[in-house]
Amino acid sequence: MMSEGKQQSTSPADIDSLALQAEADQDIAIERKASGKPEKPAHALASMLGPAFVAAVAYVDPGNVAANLTSGAKYGYLLVWVLVVANCMSVLIQYQAAKLGIVTGKSLPQILGERMGTAGRFLFFMQAEVIAIATDLAEVIGGAIALNLLFGVPLLVGGCIIGAVSTVLLLFQGGETHKIFERLVIGLLLVITFGFIAGLFINPPNPIAVAEGLIPRFTDGSSVLMATSMLGATVMPHAIYLHSTLVNDHFGKGADRPSRRQMMHGSRIDVVWALAIAGTVNIALLVLAANSLYGMTGTDTIEGAQHAIAQVLGPVVGTIFSIGLLASSLSSTSVGTYAGSEIMKGLLRVDVPMWACRVATLVPALVVLALANNPTEALIVGQVVLSIGIPFAIIPLMRYTHDRTLMGQYADGRIKHIVCLVVVALIIALNAVLIVLTLMGKA
């Protein structure tokens, strides 16, 4: 992870902020000394791990499954490089989100809400809500498909089951049970990982062919559209909004927490480990499809891909894949609803019950399940919508983490800020290409 830039100049606002912080630290030290309490000890690294793993679940949701399987089955190893680049960008972006939350003690939606007028907050919330609906669409549909594959449950009934179970998971979110919520989600992440990479052990891919997929290139407009869809499935807007909340919710109110520097160090490790797992799962999905499903017909849907996997690699691997898909849906839809609640709270300053947020995004997904002939197509479209929403999250994030009046001595240095701007420009350019190709009917 890139080192933080040093402060080049100090404004009056910075001086006041640092002076207040120094006074607060001194008061705490005096209070501890008077009460006979020891100085704040260094926290174990393990106590700081968890937030990034919860956020990383968003990177392995059923939308990823659809996008990556479709890419591998249609283009082989052509777009492996897209996932590698996207995962590297994700590490940077998620660390920036965690850093913003650690330094300010506020989430990105909260900061946006404080700096925008009423109309601006409402409009920003509306686009974020569209993204949340597109996110839940992918997650609920994926879970319904998994239940159908495993138990023959009708899609609409499966969607209702996913909604109900994910709501139960959300009961553990916040307060004293938040650590339980984190452990449940991390446990599901491990199930996802095993479920989606098991097939590679049965039929290992050709390393040379995989390496060739690391060469950046496209073949046609459709491959650009697919790459953008994969980007939308990898860099997740709601994970950016949520991560800045998770780093503070992790310790709970009134809990003894590490210093800022300790938390930032722990967060770097947390993000790298979590995104390494998520990136491995994404690449494994594409490689599995490229290696085992390339050229086969009927693999443009999750159901078709699962049947093909079972046919080529055996029914046991097919079942394991379906279990991974189910775990992916349950965990990611819970995290997505959690993010939606925090977005509403920060932008609209309204603390809406979690069940209400659950219903708001679940109903559109159930409507699609009831009416769509091919739910997998809805997943792909949803991922494109997500990719369009990414700039709305990353532009203010990079702006705020470079703002010395907000971040003080922890503001990004010039070199790191330039790197961040390059990442933002790349994502926006790719989205612009997607829009142009779509309008021209060439995608």
Lowest mean pLDDT among 13-22, 134-143, 239-248, 425-434: 13-22
- Amino acid, res. 240: I
Is 37 or 144 the better-scoring residue by pLDDT? 144
Highest mean pLDDT: which range of 130-134, 212-216, 352-356? 212-216
Q: Which residues of 244-266 are buried (b: 16+ CB within 10 A; e: fewer)?
A: bbbbbbbbeeeeebbebebbbeb
| pLDDT value for 66 | 80
Lowest mean pLDDT of 12-21, 173-182, 187-196, name the range.
12-21
For residues 321 and 31, the model is more confident at 321
Nearest to 99 by CA among 268, 345, 269, 341: 268
- pLDDT of 121 over the 80 cut: yes
- Domains, the chain, in order of start with CATH, read 51-440 (1.20.1740.10)
pLDDT at 254: 66
Q: How confident is the model at residue 433 (pLDDT cuts 50, 70, 90)?
A: confident
Confidence of residue 302 (pLDDT cuts 50, 70, 90): confident
Q: Is the pLDDT of residue 249 over 70?
A: yes
Query: What value does the mean pLDDT take over residues 243-262?
Result: 85
Task: Look at residue 211 in the predicted model and tell me its pLDDT.
Answer: 95
- For the cut 90, the answer to whether the pLDDT of residue 47 exceeds it is no
Q: Are 235 and 90 in contact (CB under 8 A)?
A: yes
pLDDT computed for residue 30 by the predictor: 46
pLDDT average, residue stretch 175-185: 84
Q: What is the DSSP string of 362-407?
A: HHHHHHHHHH-S-HHHHHHHHHHHHHHHHHHHHHHHHHHHT-HHHH
Give the chain's mean pLDDT. 84
Q: Estimate the crossing angle of helix 354-371 against helix 118-151, to 10 degrees.
A: 60
The long-range contacts involving 43-46, CB below 8 angstroms and separated by at least 24 positions, are 43/257, 43/258, 43/262, 43/266, 45/266, 45/269
pLDDT tens, position by position, 145-166: 999 999 999 999 999 999 999 9
Q: Residue 23 — pLDDT band, cuts 50, 70, 90?
A: very low
Which pLDDT belongs to residue 108?
96
Judge contact between 217 and 78, C-beta under 8 A. yes
* pLDDT for residue 120: 92
pLDDT in tens, 352-402: 888 888 888 899 889 988 887 777 677 667 666 777 788 899 999 999 999
Q: Which pLDDT score, from 0 to 100, does residue 441 have?
A: 65
Give the pLDDT band of residue 6 (cuts 50, 70, 90).
very low
b/e map of 279-312 (b: 16 or more CB within 10 Å)? bbbbbbbbbbbbbbbeebeebbbbbbbbbbbbeb
CA pair distance 405, 131, nearest whole angstrom:
30
Separation of alpha carbons 216 and 9, rounded Å: 40
More confident residue, 389 or 252: 389
Is the predicted pLDDT of residue 8 greater than 50, yes or no? no
- Please state which of the ranges 178-182, 210-214, 245-249, 376-380 shows the lowest mean pLDDT: 376-380
Q: For position 2, what pLDDT does the model report?
A: 44
- pLDDT tens digit sequence for 303-352: 888 999 999 999 999 999 999 999 999 999 998 888 888 999 999 988 88
Q: Residue 68 pLDDT more than 50?
A: yes
Please answer whether residues 337 and 166 qualify as being in contact, where contact means their C-beta atoms are separated by less than 8 angstroms.
yes
Query: Please, which pLDDT band fits residue 29 given cuts at 50, 70 and 90?
Result: very low
Token pair for residue 273? Answer: 């480990």
Is 342 in contact with 107 (CB distance < 8 Å)?
yes
